[in-house]
Amino acid sequence: MSGTGKGGGKGGGAPRALHVRVKTAKRRTASSARWLERQLNDPYVALSKKEGWRSRAAYKLIEIDDKYHLLKPGMRVIDLGCAPGGWCQVAATRVKSTDAAPRVVGIDYLEMASLPGVVVLQKNFLDDDAPAVLVEALGGDKADVVLSDMAAPATGHKKTDHLKIMHLAEVAIDFARTVLKPGGHFLAKVLRGGTENELLANLKRDFAQVMHIKPPASRADSAELYVIAKGFRGASADTAPPDDGDPRDTHAWMPPLKDG
């Protein structure tokens, strides 16, 4: 990848490295050994450390933004579920947010170290007062972009985990409808599982362009994908979703969806 670190980065694929095998030890379970092996052999993990990003997830947003141009200088951005801060870093860099004039606000119930140009709120987004606190932190202005990489702790039960993350996506959408400027954009993580297409159809009522995407930095064996909605029509829009075919029509990054 020809990334430029905190200068903004360009998504072009991560380099491959020699495979490292990790054995179980007295204090290491088989699952933790598998996780560690995956981390050690993940080129995006190595690249994020080299280029100074908070997490490998930064490359997901870099690759998506390089293709769909969500973030532009001067925009105001809200990042839901922001810890450890990779997406906030990318957003702050690309909208040219500064400490003197912050244009990026992130929220997470997990503690997160500060970042230049980012207002970080340690708070649960599901709290009743969270939306008002976010708007206040943004200076009372409408947002140009709402990002959500929120994910509930995994239970190991596929259907339960799917329902939990889809609930977070739906809450994020409701919030985006209240805070986005007309023409604004929304990006959120979802999971395959049979209901993600209903979410796309829901978004089509209020956005001009809606699709599923799976950026190269998203692990191939992961059920995660991202829904992107561009061109918010406005909270008062009374426009029916366009009848333009199957909502599963999507970018070539993602293979055809299968229900279940």
| Sheet containing strand 118-122, strands side by side | 118-122, 104-108, 77-80, 143-148, 180-191, 224-232, 207-213
| DSSP letter, residue 232 | E
Please give the positions annotated as active site.
189
Q: Are 190 and 227 in contact (CB under 8 A)?
A: yes
Residue 135 and residue 174: Cα distance in Å, rounded?
14
At how many degrees (to 10) do helices 57-68 and 86-95 cross?
Answer: 40
Cβ neighbourhood burial of 224 (10 Å; 0-12, 13-18, 19+): middle
Q: Map 135-171 to HEC letters.
A: HHHCCCCCEEEEEECCCCCCCCCHHHHHHHHHHHHHH
Q: Are 37 and 48 in contact (CB under 8 A)?
A: no
Handedness of CA 138, 142, 148, 152 (dihedral sign): positive
Please list, in sequence order, all residues whose beta carbon lies within 8 angstroms of the beta carbon of residue 254, skipping any fewer than 6 positions away. 212, 213, 214, 225
Please tell me whether the peptide bond between 84 and the residue prior to it is cis, using omega within 30 degrees of 0: yes
